[in-house]
């Protein structure tokens, strides 16, 4: 007769149901492992991750990366207001020490009935110049500069105070141009610099208008990579339709951007520049008519 199989004796010692649960499951060895203990501590940490909705709200409000938003919320216990301040403080300190080159730039034009301002702001990458917050900021900046008598008089634009009003991005607070550039740079993660600033006031009894050629198709209107402003004064001024004159000035500005002229009148062109340009046009014409007609052209 074959002996009956006894499972308890096969495992050795007491029957399976009489042994401790952790021993039967093999947990005694796992609990002794440092790797297991570290994994357990990470898995059962009391620091809960911020909710996705809160992270998204902070990102929409500040424009900071998702990683930075999570870090800020974790540091401040998911308090959005404190997280905003945390991002600003950390970002400003980082921007003050940053030495990267600001190679990309975006141009915006501010217009008032009596003045126009073309403003350039530089960033480190094209990614930031395409950012909607950055484009809103530069529009707000150019509008403030165009309305500033200090800027029109050639004063220090970096110390100009940007006041609250329509168009201000909610990610930045009113302050001087220098302060706001530093604050916005801390939000976007790149060093921002004020580039060229050109102001043009309308002449007495005249108008001023301008045109900005967009840098990308989906860019904010009024921002781009090239711009021009034109001021016109009617002579005589009596009876002139200033609305139509402003339209003409805007068309001239558009053509100026397209042609990119270096001089305003023929008389302002240096003689040497004029000679070189004539030689270039003559050479191009001779190449077009061919060698048989070259002699005829030379005689003329």
Same domain, 128 and 67: no
Instruction: Pull the structure tokens for residue 51.
Output: 């909710």
How many domains does the chain contain in total? Answer: 3
Same domain, 149 and 271: no
In a domain, 209, yes or no: yes
Task: Provide the pLDDT confidence category of residue 118 given band limits of 50, 70 and 90.
Answer: very high
Query: Distance (Å, rounded) from C-alpha 141 to C-alpha 122?
Result: 13
Contact in structure between 198 and 118 (CB atoms under 8 Å): yes
Mean pLDDT of 177-193: 84
> Residue 36: its pLDDT value, please?
40
Same domain, 292 and 226: no
Same domain, 116 and 162: yes
pTM listed for this prediction: 0.62
Strand partners, 166: none
Same domain, 284 and 256: no
User: Distance between terminal CA atoms of the chain?
Assistant: 130
- Could you read off the pLDDT of 173-183 as tens digits, one per residue? 888 888 888 88
Same domain, 118 and 244: yes
Range of the domain at 63: 53-97
CA dist list (Å): 270 to 17, 62, 277, 284: 105, 52, 11, 22
Same domain, 154 and 112: yes
Mean pLDDT of 30-51: 48
Same domain, 109 and 198: yes
Query: Distance (Å, rounded) from C-alpha 192 to C-alpha 184?
Result: 8
pLDDT for residue 39 is more than 50: no
CA nearest to 147, candidates 129, 137, 136, 162: 162
């Amino acid at each position: 007769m074959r002996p009956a199989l006894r499972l308890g004796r096969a495992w050795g010692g007491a029957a399976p149901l009489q042994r401790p649960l952790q021993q039967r499951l093999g947990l005694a060895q796992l609990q002794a492992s440092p790797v297991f203990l570290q994994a357990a501590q990470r898995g059962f940490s009391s620091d809960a991750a911020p909710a996705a909705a809160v992270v998204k709200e902070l990102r929409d409000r500040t424009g900071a990366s998702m990683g930075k938003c999570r870090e800020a919320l974790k540091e401040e216990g998911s308090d959005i207001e404190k997280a905003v301040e945390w991002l600003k403080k950390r970002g400003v300190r980082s921007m003050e020490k940053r030495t990267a080159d600001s190679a990309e730039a975006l141009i915006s034009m501010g217009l008032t009935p009596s003045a126009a301002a073309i403003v350039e702001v530089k960033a480190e990458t094209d990614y930031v110049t395409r950012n909607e917050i950055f484009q809103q900021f530069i529009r707000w900046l150019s509008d403030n500069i165009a309305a500033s008598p200090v800027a029109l008089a050639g004063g220090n634009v970096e110390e100009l105070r940007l006041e609250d009003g329509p168009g201000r991005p909610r990610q930045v607070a009113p302050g001087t141009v220098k302060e706001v550039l530093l604050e916005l740079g801390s939000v976007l993660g790149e060093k921002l610099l004020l580039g060229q600033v050109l102001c043009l006031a309308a002449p007495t009894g005249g108008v001023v208008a301008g045109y900005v050629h967009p840098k990308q198709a989906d860019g904010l209107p009024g921002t781009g990579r090239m711009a021009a402003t034109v001021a016109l004064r009617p002579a005589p001024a009596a009876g002139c339709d200033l609305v139509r004159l402003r339209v003409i000035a805007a068309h001239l500005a558009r053509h100026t951007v397209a042609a990119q002229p270096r001089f305003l009148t023929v008389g302002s062109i240096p003689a040497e520049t004029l000679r070189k340009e004539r030689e270039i046009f003559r050479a191009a014409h001779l190449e077009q008519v061919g060698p048989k007609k070259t002699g005829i052209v030379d005689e003329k």
